[in-house]
Amino acid sequence: MDKFIMVGCDLHDRTMLLKMAQNRGKATMRSWPNDRSSRRKVIEDLRSRARRAGGARIVFAYEASGSGFVLCDELTAAGIECHVLAPTRIERSVKHRRRKTDERDAQRVLDILRAHLMAGVELPSVWVPDCQTRDDRELVRRRLNVAEKRSAVKTQIRWLLKRNGIENSMAPASPWTCEYWCWLQDLAEMHLASGAALGLSSLLRQLDWLSREIELLDKQVQSLARADRYAGPVAALRRYQGVGLLTAMVFLTEMGDLGRFSNRRQVGSFLGLTPGSQESGEADDRKGHITHQGPSRVRKVLCQAVWSRLGSVTSEQAAYQRLVAKNPKHKKIAVVARMRTMAIWMWHAGRVAQQRLEVASPAA
């Protein structure tokens, strides 16, 4: 039997708690700070344990989180096998959720890793994107985040007006035009009480800054889309009406290497667009809501793209109406079905473009 040093880690912003065991032996626990120097010490400690165990293979695992993949990168660079697990694919009992501690979480990860190595149980690991993809995601995600903040400020402005008795009928016909903007500024300067006026002026300044920031980020996203690694796939995706540059970039950066999906079912499952299953006994065809797993950013832009197509593409309207006719009371089902179909189209087109890029790269 191969010798293993297995490590289950419960990773936090400032600390990491490790549960370590050799093969089927008893686990030992140790806590470390989560900083660069401490992580180097962890690597040296694990190497020392492996040497004492006669050259055992070190296998490390932890759950994915907002901390990213820094720990995984450092372990991999040191020659240590590392797996990042998907929290949504780890089953937890009600008792475990009510008695959640760092030690139990680390032990749970260790148990999953031991089952994988000792018994061949499938590991619920996530795909770790390369550093370039992660870096590209930062820009695209920031663009989406700023747009969400701008929408939130617009909502705050509407509610401020409503609280002060300003009805929609008093506003210019088209919201958020130059005329509408001038009307808001006039309200802040002349017609609202002092507190409300100061509040509206603050919101208008925030809205102006966020709008200018979006313009800047749009230019940076456009520049990124012209890079060799994205130019071909973006052009392929934008052939579909309703898919703009931002939608294409969100899809490509969040999905990463499209070749890692072998069929359309995997694409739908990854994006959380497949219905949940509730089958038991004789009830063998009970489907629930979609799973909502995977990147919600992609689902959002897919939804926007579908609605855009419904307003301009005749074939899209016909397909949507056929789905609605099957279930008139739940039109959202038809929208989700079209989102899934569109995601599969984009996956096919993007995968072909990425494959052409891979073929052309060695020659370049």
Per-residue pLDDT reduced to its tens digit, 166-198: 887 778 878 888 899 999 999 998 888 889 999
Query: In this predicted model, which residue has the larger pLDDT, 174 or 308?
Result: 308
Per-residue pLDDT reduced to its tens digit, 245-261: 999 999 999 999 999 99
Partners of 22 in beta bridges: 5
CA dist 354 to 163, 254, 359, 363, Å? 52, 15, 9, 15
User: Residue 353, SS3?
Assistant: helix
Per-residue pLDDT reduced to its tens digit, 52-102: 999 999 999 999 998 899 999 999 999 999 999 999 888 887 877 788 899
Q: What percent of the chain has pLDDT over 90?
A: 79
Please list, in sequence order, all residues whose beta carbon lies within 8 angstroms of the beta carbon of residue 224, skipping any fewer than 6 positions away: 136, 139, 140, 230, 249
Mean of pLDDT values over 12-18: 95
CA dist 154 to 208, 272, 321, 339, Å? 11, 30, 33, 27
Distance, first Cα to last Cα, the chain: 46
Tokens 């995997």 sit on residue: 266
Q: Which of 17, 41, 37 is nearest to 28 (CA)?
A: 17
Per-residue pLDDT reduced to its tens digit, 123-147: 999 999 999 999 999 999 999 999 9
Residue 282 is given by DSSP the state: T
Q: Is the pLDDT of residue 363 over 90?
A: no
Q: Which pTM does this prediction carry?
A: 0.90
Residue 67 is given by DSSP the state: T
